[in-house]
Structure 1
């Protein structure tokens, strides 16, 4: 066979293995605690509450060093275990900050987030939804019941506005609700009235957030297809467990998917 025909043959064989009309998947990686990476079908990278180097992640330093691409960094509220490594990653990758307007200002002023990577185009507030990355991603801002002080480089707590969560809709992919840190609250039932939720990332640790029983009630309000527990076990006080969550979820209709740190799922 002439060598010039070999690349054409390899391309034909590759295409033959793909189903007609097959689309790329959305991938979700958990780094422990409340930190996730979303990669869209077009390869855009979103990091949510990126405390990559948290104590639950034994490979945290390596995982953090390996992040060489990020388009958006979503931060739900100002506490250090959710702001995490956001400023470092932003400086390295040029990623833009997605957060409430007040939190965005606080992270720029006190936590070292690059000013030119934050602002009105990627900031919003509760009830609003913004279209990002050429329309491939939409983010709606969802309230949460928690706090949001930002402890800056000066070691002084500063107000970070109100805490929240995110409803992330991926074109040709899933709709994902990251609760941030919160208790269950009745208005969660409004979330699926505007967007059906495919995947809910629910805090279950107790002490600082809802525990397994209350998180299960939140799931019943939101009606996701799949629920993934987060924000548990990082510290001894976070006593909620996936096992207790699973028991409390019985009859909810949601599929419980327990992720391991550094595990990636595809949707």
Structure 2
């Protein structure tokens, strides 16, 4: 089992093999996460799925404060290197890399990717993390895609962290299909309720998931769970 802590929007901190891996930190600009002490977050790795502000806002400060390793696509990694990030690892779609917490594969996502200053963020992606105790999928911002079936064919996915807010990404119906494609019954929701555009009926989403035989887990900001 591994422990996950939700910091709002799409930001999850995952403890794997005594290492802490932080995904898409958008915390300090998020009013819903105002009780989170960003300076207290300890991260050994910061993984960035794509370049939008609501996924990278706290990446520079957290990475520098912890001397963490930033992992993303080539364009994003180099952009952060130019901001003084000394430890970074660039990837691209289909590529895998072994780190001391597990193996990371950077996979396809269907979404745009522009960095806060207007620079190209390359092509958006997601991550499959295979570790000693299992495997999970962090989708990033994406539409439903048949490419997700390839993930299910290659990996045994224990749970998937999927966007459910609709409008800019998948909604709950497509997230349920995505879970089918990657072969898991457990969905951790992300990218919902932060802004008016992506506010959802959470009870209706839970009902839809339950009726489809899925376990939709929606954590409160700051809440942790072991899976």
Note whether the superposition's TM-score is higher than 0.5. yes
Three-state SS of the structure 1 residue aligned to 2:160 is: strand
**Structure 1 unaligned regions, length at least 5:** 1-24
Q: Would you say the 8 A contact 2:142–2:163 is kept in 1?
A: yes
**Superposition TM-score, scaled by structure 1 size:** 0.80
Matched, 1:89 2:43: no
Number of residue pairs aligned between Structure 1 and Structure 2: 226
Q: Counterpart in 2 of 1:4?
A: none
Q: Name the CA distance, whole Å, in 1 between partners of 2:210 and 2:225.
A: 23
Q: Aligned residue for 2:32?
A: 56
Helix, strand or coil at the partner of 1:233: coil
Task: Report the structure number with the largest CA radius of gyration.
Answer: 1
Runs of 4+ in 1 over 4 A off after TM superposition: none
Q: Which residue of 2 aligns with 1:160?
A: 121
Question: Unaligned regions of 5+ residues in structure 2, if any?
Answer: none
Matches within 5 A, 1:97-108: 97-108=70-81
After TM superposition, list the pairs within 5 Å mapping 1:1-267 onto structure 2: 25-40=1-16, 42-53=17-28, 54-60=30-36, 62=37, 64-67=38-41, 69-109=42-82, 112-114=83-85, 116-118=86-88, 122-133=89-100, 136-152=101-117, 157-171=118-132, 173-250=133-210, 252-267=212-227
Answer whether contact 2:161 2:188 (CA < 8 A) is retained: yes
- 3-state DSSP class of the match of 1:56? helix
Question: Contact between 1:232 and 1:241, CA under 8 Å: does it hold in 2?
Answer: no
Q: Would you say the 8 A contact 1:223–1:254 is kept in 2?
A: no
Q: Which has the higher contact order (CA 8 A, sep 6+)?
A: 2
RMSD of aligned alpha carbons? 1.6
**Given the two structures, how large is their TM-score scaled by the length of structure 2?**
0.93
Deviation at 1:224, TM superposition (A): 1.3
CA contact (8 A) 1:212 1:244 kept: no
Q: Which has the higher strand share?
A: 2
Q: Following the alignment from structure 2 to structure 1, what is the Cα–Cα distance between the partners of residues 216 and 33? A: 21
1:205-260 deviation digits (Å, cap 9, x = unpaired):
11111112222221221221311111100011102343232333345443222211
Query: Structure 2: how far apart are the matches of 1:251 and 1:223?
Result: 17
